[in-house]
Amino acid sequence: DAKTTQPPSMDCAEGRAANLPCNHSTISGNEYVYWYRQIHSQGPQYIIHGLKNNETNEMASLIITEDRKSSTLILPHATLRDTAVYYCIVRVPARGTASKLTFGTGTRLQVTL
Amino acid sequence: ETGVTQTPRHLVMGMTNKKSLKCEQHLGHNAMYWYKQSAKKPLELMFVYNFKEQTENNSVPSRFSPECPNSSHLFLHLHTLQPEDSALYLCASSQAKGQGSEKLFFGSGTQLSVL
């Protein structure tokens, strides 16, 4: 898996967009970018993933730079319930077999009033 | 509700006890996982099961013994644990097909305290 670098913590005001960066400068051509989050004392929750195109779902948007060396997870209107640790993971998806997904230390996002 | 249910939610046990953690998934997935999360530390992958076969044992001590009787159920049997084994134990499942293998669904975990 390619190494990723995330800021240890960020703050965001409620109602504003939260932009969480991830650097993955050694990403290879067949590695995807995955984002998960973990709310305190719960299991991680899958958010979104992408290869090279920008992706959007009901939870968030993922913007991947053209050279794929970095990406940004965007929560368009952050709420207090979005306070969590956000993990950026880069890996080649295991096809037809189980994953060996590993988590780093992530970014602790604090959404405030 | 993620479709992955873990019981019990909390467990306190002595070092000489034997207990088991249970995980059940209702998603029709064929891969199941045990992760450990100690306080202030990243998640650690412990065991991986693919179609009921164990495919990964991440150098886990033998006092942790997993069991996967079918694709929907996963157990973690615990015996003679140490206080440093106190942690949040998380179960997850995924569909080992296409890109779905990396989309894991986690349970709420069992918070284990070893006295």
With an 8 Å Cβ cutoff, is A30 touching chain B?
no
Share of chain B above pLDDT 70, in %: 97
pLDDT at B55: 85
Dist CA B72 CA B31 (whole Å): 9
With an 8 Å Cβ cutoff, is A91 touching chain B?
yes
**Alpha-carbon distance B10 to nearest alpha carbon in chain A (angstroms):** 11
Residues of chain B neighbouring A108 (CB-CB closer than 8 A) = none
Confidence of residue B99 (pLDDT cuts 50, 70, 90): low
Kindly state the average pLDDT of the residues B93-103: 78
Helix boundaries (H) for B40-108: none
Dist CA A60 CA A74 (whole Å): 6
Instruction: Report B:23-52 residues touching A (Cβ under 8 A).
Output: 31-33, 42-43, 45, 48-50
pLDDT tens column, B20-70: 999 999 999 999 999 999 998 899 999 999 888 888 888 899 999 999 999
Which residues make beta-bridge pairs with B21? B76
For residue B40, the chain A residue with the least C-alpha distance is A105
Kindly state the average pLDDT of the residues A90-109: 89
pLDDT > 90? residue A26: yes
Dist CA A71 CA A24 (whole Å): 8
Task: Say if the Cβ atoms of A97 and B55 lie within 8 Å.
Answer: yes
Instruction: Report A:39-58 residues touching B (Cβ under 8 A).
Output: 41-46, 49
pLDDT at B113: 96
pLDDT tens column, A27-59: 998 899 999 999 988 999 999 999 998 999 999
Averaged pLDDT score across all residues of chain A: 94
At A75, which helix (H) or strand (E)?
strand A70-75
CB-based contact A12:A113 (threshold 8 Å): no
- In 3D, which of B14, B34, B17, B16 has the Cα closest to residue B25? B34
Kindly state the average pLDDT of the residues A88-108: 89
Q: Point out the residue among B90, B104, B107 whose CB comes nearest to the CB of A99.
A: B104
pLDDT tens column, B12-34: 999 888 999 999 999 999 999 99
CB-based contact B86:B10 (threshold 8 Å): no
pLDDT > 70? residue B83: yes
